Amino acid sequence: MRIGAVFPHQEIGNDPVVIRDWAQAAEGLGYSHILAYDHVLGATHESRDPELWGPYTEQDPFHELFVLFGFFAACTQRIGLASGILILPQRQTALVAKQAAEVDVLSRGRLRLGVGTGWNYVEYDSLNESFSDRGVRQEEQVEVLRALWAESLVDYRGQYHKIDRAGLNPLPKRKIPIWFGGFAPVAFRRAARMGDGFIYGGGHEDNLRAHQSMNTELEGSGRALNEFGHEALVNFQSGAENWRSEAQAWVDRGADFISMRAQRLQGVGEGLSSPRAHIDALKVYWEAVGDLSDGVGS
């Protein structure tokens, strides 16, 4: 199992030197990858019909994911770059393919693209994309991404996409892995059909239950369990007394990755007081569990 770190969007601030220092600290300590979240816009929750129920508002800052990964590609050497998750259906597919390919080229093959459907319909509306059909569109988007990364000229006709003998240049030099994330059974089913792996983003016990549900879907789809990846997010706020046992639980489950998150979370605890505290948290957590990590990479 490899151990990554969740980029603390909400609390790291905007100083590029601090952001660089955080990423280089993670790499220097031995973390295998940086996992970053994705939101283009935040929105107030007040007076919405239907209700906007998600955990973030316009007060929560998020650095743009592909720009951030380009920055990390330049200021680090080996640490992997994983989206956890990119809200794929609110973005144009060919543009995502281009951006992801460019990050993979410039990072020398360090990208792992985690995708999901998201919850913020205001964000979808503002980006001029449909919220109601986001799940089925995402399935076609994954097909299109893989085609665009594999072929110099793509001729594609689908329900939502038309590409007439066009392609990306430069192409990535490898098959970029596509992982899924989410909480609903449909996300597990979709991942079992199309994904290279799954990212579990809930609390510890919820993630263990989701892992079992995912394995059930894989078995039902005829997928080999050892050919599908698993990653769980684990919480710094769980406390030092729980860090090792929670990480060991995922070693015992045969997970490929865990990622430690230390930012503010609903129902878990407050975030850390400063960017320096987030860098210190990387060190403290690694000292507690780093010997459970067996390698590097995304």
Residue ranges per structural domain of the chain:
2-292
How much is the pLDDT for 297? 64
Q: Dump pLDDT digits (tens) for 117-155.
A: 999 999 999 999 999 999 999 999 999 999 999 999 999
Helices (runs of H) and strands (runs of E) counted in the chain: 10, 11
The answer on pLDDT for 267 being more than 60 is: no
Average pLDDT for 187-199: 98
For residue 206, give both structure tokens.
Answer: 């919820």
Average pLDDT for 36-65: 96
CATH of domain 2-292: 3.20.20.30
Q: Dump pLDDT digits (tens) for 153-173.
A: 999 999 999 999 999 999 999
Range of weakest confidence among 16-20, 191-195, 262-266: 262-266
> Which residue do the tokens 């509306």 mark?
125
Q: Dump pLDDT digits (tens) for 60-116.
A: 999 999 999 999 999 999 999 999 999 999 999 999 999 999 999 999 999 999 999
Other CB atoms within 10 Å distance of the CB of residue 107? 21
197 against 271, higher pLDDT? 197
Could you tell me the CA-to-CA distances from 33 to 27, 44, 127, 257 in Å, in that order?
8, 32, 29, 9
Helix (H, G, I), strand (E, B) or coil at 169: coil
The answer on pLDDT for 270 being more than 80 is: no
The answer on pLDDT for 296 being more than 70 is: no
Q: What are phi and psi of 109, to 5 degrees?
A: 80, 40
